[in-house]
């Protein structure tokens, strides 16, 4: 495996040349950041040739292309991943060694492009990797936020948000494409004119507008010369200041347009699963959607005369409801700009758009007040009204005079525009992201829609790219896998099943455990350097890394840690296997309970880590600023994967798959993709506990349960809960954690207490944790389960997921790209 384009000597020369051209520096006096830039430009040089070849092939073949529309792409660093996919990582590492630099520390110079919150954004990034690797033409379309996901600092145990200036040194991998700039219009009024044939024309007047400018970032396929683009849009003012203009109106307008351009792409909303209904967010949505669609239609027209055939060449995938304005925007383009009738435009739109649902959390549902929506997007609103009017006629035909159905299904109701309803009614496909999640959509959340249009509903269980999360993130294990089964797994993860025959092989077991140990040493070093905490690499690394949310139940985890600590204090001589509990999580900036949970984790860590009397048998670590780059290292070093969401709430989860692929065992509820993980690996190689989704839903329909019964009857739980309000972990402010206590026992804001069934599941969780401890004592047994987890991860490649999208939704044509010798 060797890529000629990265021949060592010429690569080294190019790095040196780049340093000269970019910085007037020699290799001796360049900074590490400058080396990173010089290396990146050398890599980009190779990528560009393949990119051009890919374009040429697409030009020639005219294949069907998917536009993956997403407000978020959590790409992670590009340099290492590009080298992996170019099959040049080892080669370049050696070249850099010869130049006197460690490639890993050069990689650390790259900021993590964090244009996403969590699962949904990272899934989009994995999908792009798979699309290129499998040779399918695709654009990722999104926003070039000037500030991505905030950088998290922990101060005195509290989360502080620091702006993420990911572009401050420039981004060597992006290419500005000013030739594709397009104008985007907001607000104003709509005037209707009739043309000579009596057809209505809709003219937007007195609007504000901005220019959308695309930047393309290459997405390199693995070893196949295919390069697709992530196209992210920046905003610029249309007319920059006319200094000679003394006209006051013009001046104000110019300033307004300047401001609009600046604010629109300023920052990623750091909410995950919570819709705050902010006007600027709707502006962001329309901005990148209108730009992406205008460009997609223009590109189609370069090759085709008949716009009716658009769905034969183009499909738009809506990543959750955030891009749903694509539907009325496509209608607008087709009718107002291409002159089609409603029926023609509707036929095209409904064959070109498909929708993925990523959550059933009701707080996440996007609804916009009519006032806001119609003011900002007057023409788009007219179109949505007409879609709604026609849909309600359908509903009435199917369920005559049924106001209940109208109430539950209308797109516009009660003063609000409901984006999920718009997406379902107007798209040809609705998919969930794991089998259980799709079933819940069909039978509960979207039941009425499923009954009316069952053919649209389908499941696409999520996946992850093994190229980033094993090949790049865990090179030792990757090599070990290749030594045993060859390297086909890199592009066909189903091959990894072949490892199962080594599950009982003593030598293999030792090797896998040793690799895990080396990776734990690497993480222990990181923790020493970042947290100043010594952790024992021989202890069980029990890890929960994901966004902080009540439904994900980090609180359950830390309450259990408090309980374990109580037991150790009460019975200092009890049998106890040393444990390191590792957390990593960002909380949305305005999410109080989530932020308080972070403070609690850190407060508990402070007390336990500094207690000399427990002999370091429990350590608690909160990893600051959890993100894609440190995630790769964390998965590689984990023994236990905490997937403990309230059943029914986690649509899929994808971290669970990354842990599994790296040989960790799942401790989890029967939620999301955990169900399918257990199905693949066997229940005896995971630790499953707690209420099922059906049980949770049943309790919810009964109005909840009474946690006081548990509090009164269980002294272990009572002790832990009292420690939340007696200052045990916050002596200077005993009331500090009162809100967490109340959330479990008292109804707040008319809600139910313990909405997420933490106390209800506590005993089962503690018991499952005991099983973990006993299983870990049996080193052979654990190694066997670990190997079987790796071997069972084949289904969870995003390559498999993408193949299903292609076969059942997108129907894309494959391309082959040959490079001249
Ligand atoms: C939702 C919202 C709601 C409106 C305001 C801002 C905002 C930002 C992000 C989101 C996304 C929430 C949905 C989400 O991330 N779902 C996650 O998707 C993963 C990929 O399918 C899946 O594995 C996780 O289980 C699911 O929580």
Specify the DSSP class assigned to residue 443. I
With 90 as the cut, is the pLDDT of residue 520 above it?
yes
- Ligand 1 centroid–CA 272 distance in Å is 6
CB of 520 closer than 8 Å to CB of 640: no
> In the prediction, which pLDDT does 248 show?
58
Q: Verify that 135 and 156 share a domain, yes or no.
A: yes
Per the domain annotation, does 727 fall within a domain?
no
Q: Verify that 676 and 766 share a domain, yes or no.
A: yes
516 CB neighbour count, 10 Å cutoff = 25
> In the prediction, which pLDDT does 792 show?
98
Pick the catalytic residue from 283, 322, 437, 547. Answer: 547
> Which residue owns the Cα nearest ligand 1 atom 12?
273
Per the domain annotation, does 288 fall within a domain?
yes
Q: Is 358 among the residues known to form the active site?
A: yes
Q: CA–CA distance from 27 to each of 33, 36, 169, 172 (Å)?
A: 12, 11, 19, 18
Q: Verify that 412 and 489 share a domain, yes or no.
A: no
Numbers of helices and strands, H then E, in the chain: 32, 23
Per the domain annotation, does 521 fall within a domain?
yes
Q: Verify that 342 and 213 share a domain, yes or no.
A: yes
Q: How would residue 2 be classed by pLDDT, with cut points 50, 70 and 90?
A: low
With 60 as the cut, is the pLDDT of residue 242 above it?
no
Between CA 558 and CA 545 the distance in angstroms is 13
- Ligand 1 pocket, mutate which of 70, 148, 268, 272 (most atoms under 8 A from CB): 272
Count of the separate structural domains present in the chain: 3
Per the domain annotation, does 743 fall within a domain?
no
Write down the pTM of the prediction: 0.98
What is the mean predicted confidence (pLDDT) over 57-75? 98
Question: 609-667 pLDDT, tens per residue?
Answer: 999 999 999 999 999 999 999 999 999 999 999 999 999 999 999 999 999 999 999 99
Written in H, E and C, the secondary structure of 260-315 is: HHHHHCCECCCCCCCCCCCHHHHHHHHHHHHHHHHHHHHHHHHHCCCHHHHHHHEE
Per the domain annotation, does 745 fall within a domain?
no
- Ligand 1 centroid–CA 151 distance in Å is 19
The values of phi and psi at residue 237, to 5°, are -70, 145
With 80 as the cut, is the pLDDT of residue 205 above it?
yes
With 70 as the cut, is the pLDDT of residue 73 above it?
yes
State the residue for tokens 């049924």: 402
Question: 150-200 pLDDT, tens per residue?
Answer: 999 999 999 999 999 999 999 999 999 999 999 999 999 999 999 888 889
Q: How would residue 264 be classed by pLDDT, with cut points 50, 70 and 90?
A: very high
> In the prediction, which pLDDT does 246 show?
53
Q: Is 654 among the residues known to form the active site?
A: yes
Q: Verify that 607 and 676 share a domain, yes or no.
A: yes
> Which residue owns the Cα nearest ligand 1 atom 2?
273
With 70 as the cut, is the pLDDT of residue 516 above it?
yes
- Ligand 1 centroid–CA 67 distance in Å is 19
Tokens describing residue 762: 């506590």
Q: Verify that 440 and 500 share a domain, yes or no.
A: no
Between CA 336 and CA 344 the distance in angstroms is 12
CB of 124 closer than 8 Å to CB of 157: no
> In the prediction, which pLDDT does 240 show?
58
CB of 245 closer than 8 Å to CB of 514: no
Q: What is the dihedral of CA 789, 792, 793, 795, to 10 degrees?
A: -160
Q: Is 718 among the residues known to form the active site?
A: no
Between CA 351 and CA 315 the distance in angstroms is 8
Domain of residue 543, CATH code: 3.40.50.2000
Pick the catalytic residue from 649, 658, 784, 795. Answer: 658
Tokens describing residue 264: 């629109």
Give the pairing type, strands 429-432 and 182-186.
unpaired
With 80 as the cut, is the pLDDT of residue 821 above it?
no
Between CA 60 and CA 817 the distance in angstroms is 11
> Which residue owns the Cα nearest ligand 1 atom 4?
275
**Atom number in ligand 1 closest to CA 650:** 25
Q: Is 658 among the residues known to form the active site?
A: yes
Q: Verify that 477 and 610 share a domain, yes or no.
A: yes
Q: Verify that 321 and 370 share a domain, yes or no.
A: yes
Q: Verify that 648 and 632 share a domain, yes or no.
A: yes
> In the prediction, which pLDDT does 251 show?
78
39-43, 110-114, 197-201, 314-318: segment of lowest average pLDDT: 197-201
The domain in which residue 271 lies consists of: 68-76+112-221+228-462+805-810
Task: Give strand ranges (E) for 157-207.
Answer: 158-162, 175-176, 182-186, 189-194, 200-205
Q: Verify that 134 and 159 share a domain, yes or no.
A: yes
State the residue for tokens 């971290």: 655
Q: Verify that 308 and 242 share a domain, yes or no.
A: yes
> In the prediction, which pLDDT does 748 show?
64
Per the domain annotation, does 815 fall within a domain?
no
Per the domain annotation, does 272 fall within a domain?
yes
Per the domain annotation, does 748 fall within a domain?
no
The values of phi and psi at residue 382, to 5°, are -55, -45
Within 6 Å (CB) of ligand 1, which residues are found?
117-120, 123, 269, 271-275, 320, 358-359, 364, 366, 433, 462, 650-654, 672
With 80 as the cut, is the pLDDT of residue 239 above it?
no
CB of 308 closer than 8 Å to CB of 294: no
Pick the catalytic residue from 77, 418, 472, 546. Answer: 546
Name the CA radius of gyration of the chain, rounded. Answer: 27
What is the mean predicted confidence (pLDDT) over 250-279? 90
Q: Verify that 429 and 533 share a domain, yes or no.
A: no
Between CA 743 and CA 554 the distance in angstroms is 14
Beta bridge partners of 538: none
**Atom number in ligand 1 closest to CA 123:** 20
Pick the catalytic residue from 44, 358, 421, 460. Answer: 358
């Amino acid at each position: 495996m060797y890529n000629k384009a990265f021949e060592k000597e010429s690569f080294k020369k190019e790095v040196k040349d780049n340093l000269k051209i970019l910085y007037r520096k020699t290799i001796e006096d360049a900074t590490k950041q400058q080396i990173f830039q010089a290396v990146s430009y050398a890599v980009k040089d190779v990528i560009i040739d393949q990119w051009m070849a890919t374009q040429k092939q697409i030009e020639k073949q005219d294949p069907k292309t998917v536009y993956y529309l997403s407000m978020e792409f959590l790409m992670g660093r590009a340099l290492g991943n590009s080298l992996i996919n170019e099959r040049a990582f080892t080669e370049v590492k050696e070249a850099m060694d010869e130049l006197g630099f460690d490639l890993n520390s050069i990689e650390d110079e790259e900021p993590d492009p964090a244009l996403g919150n969590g699962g949904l954004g990272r899934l989009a990034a994995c999908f792009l990797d798979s699309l290129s690797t499998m040779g399918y033409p695709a654009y990722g379309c999104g926003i070039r936020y000037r500030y991505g996901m905030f950088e998290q600092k922990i101060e005195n145990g509290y989360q502080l948000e620091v702006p993420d200036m990911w572009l401050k040194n420039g981004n060597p991998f992006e290419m500005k494409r000013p030739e594709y700039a397009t104008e985007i219009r907001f607000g104003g009024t709509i005037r209707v004119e009739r043309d000579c044939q009596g057809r209505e024309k809709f003219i937007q007047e007195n609007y504000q507008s901005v220019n959308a400018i695309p930047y393309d970032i290459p997405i390199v396929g693995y070893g196949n010369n295919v390069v697709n683009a992530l196209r992210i849009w920046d905003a610029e003012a249309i007319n920059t200041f006319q200094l000679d203009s003394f006209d006051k109106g013009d001046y104000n307008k110019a300033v307004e347009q300047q401001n609009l351009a600046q604010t629109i792409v300023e920052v990623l909303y750091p909410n995950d699963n919570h819709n705050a209904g902010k006007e600027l967010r709707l502006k962001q949505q329309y901005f990148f959607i209108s730009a992406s669609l205008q460009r997609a239609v223009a590109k189609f027209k370069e090759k085709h005369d008949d716009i009716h055939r658009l769905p034969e060449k183009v499909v738009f995938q809506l990543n959750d409801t955030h891009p749903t304005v694509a539907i009325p925007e496509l209608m607008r383009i087709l009718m107002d700009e291409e002159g089609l009738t409603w029926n023609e435009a509707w036929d095209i739109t409904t064959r070109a758009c498909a929708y993925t649902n990523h959550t059933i959390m009701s707080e996440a549902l996007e609804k916009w007040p009519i006032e806001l929506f119609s003011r900002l997007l007057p023409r788009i609103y007219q179109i949505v009204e007409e879609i709604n009017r026609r849909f309600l006629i359908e509903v009435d035909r199917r369920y005559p005079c049924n106001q209940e159905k109208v109430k539950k299904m209308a797109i516009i109701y009660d003063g609000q525009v409901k984006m999920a309803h718009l997406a379902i009614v107007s798209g040809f496909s609705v998919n969930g992201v794991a089998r259980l999640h799709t079933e819940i959509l069909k039978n509960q959340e979207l039941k009425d829609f499923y009954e009316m249009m069952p053919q649209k509903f389908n499941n696409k269980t999520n996946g992850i790219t093994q190229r980033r999360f094993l090949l790049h993130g865990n090179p030792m294990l990757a090599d070990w896998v290749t030594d045993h089964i060859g390297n086909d797994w890199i592009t066909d993860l189903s091959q990894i099943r072949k490892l199962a025959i080594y599950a009982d092989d003593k030598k293999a077991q030792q090797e896998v455990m040793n690799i895990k140990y080396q990776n734990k040493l690497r993480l222990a070093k990181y923790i020493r350097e970042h947290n100043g905490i010594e952790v024992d690499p021989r202890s069980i690394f029990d890890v929960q890394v994901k966004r902080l949310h009540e439904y994900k139940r980090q609180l359950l985890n830390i309450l259990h840690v408090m309980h374990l600590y109580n037991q150790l204090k009460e019975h200092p001589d009890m049998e106890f296997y040393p444990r390191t509990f590792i957390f990593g999580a960002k909380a949305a900036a305005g999410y109080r309970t989530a932020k308080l949970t972070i403070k609690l984790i850190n407060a508990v860590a402070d007390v336990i880590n500094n207690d000399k009397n427990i002999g370091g048998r429990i350590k608690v670590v909160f990893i600051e600023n959890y993100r894609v780059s440190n995630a790769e290292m964390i998965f590689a070093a984990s023994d236990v994967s905490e997937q403990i969401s309230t059943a029914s709430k986690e649509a899929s989860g994808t971290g669970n798959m990354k842990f599994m692929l790296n040989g960790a065992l799942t401790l989890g509820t029967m939620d999301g993709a955990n169900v399918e993980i257990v199905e693949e690996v066997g229940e005896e190689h995971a630790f499953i506990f707690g209420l099922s989704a059906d049980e949770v839903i049943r309790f919810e329909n009964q109005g909840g349960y009474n946690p006081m019964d548990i509090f009164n009857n269980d002294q272990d739980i009572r002790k832990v809960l009292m420690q939340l309000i007696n200052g045990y972990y916050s002596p200077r402010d005993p009331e500090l954690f009162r809100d967490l206590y109340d959330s479990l026992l008292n109804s707040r804001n008319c809600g139910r207490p313990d909405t997420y069934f933490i106390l209800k599941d506590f005993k089962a969780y503690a018991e499952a944790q005991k099983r973990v401890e006993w299983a870990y004592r049996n080193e052979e047994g654990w190694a066997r389960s670990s190997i079987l987890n790796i071997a069972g991860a084949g289904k969870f490649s995003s390559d498999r997921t993408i193949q299903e999208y292609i076969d059942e939704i997108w129907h894309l044509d494959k391309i082959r790209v040959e490079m001249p010798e």
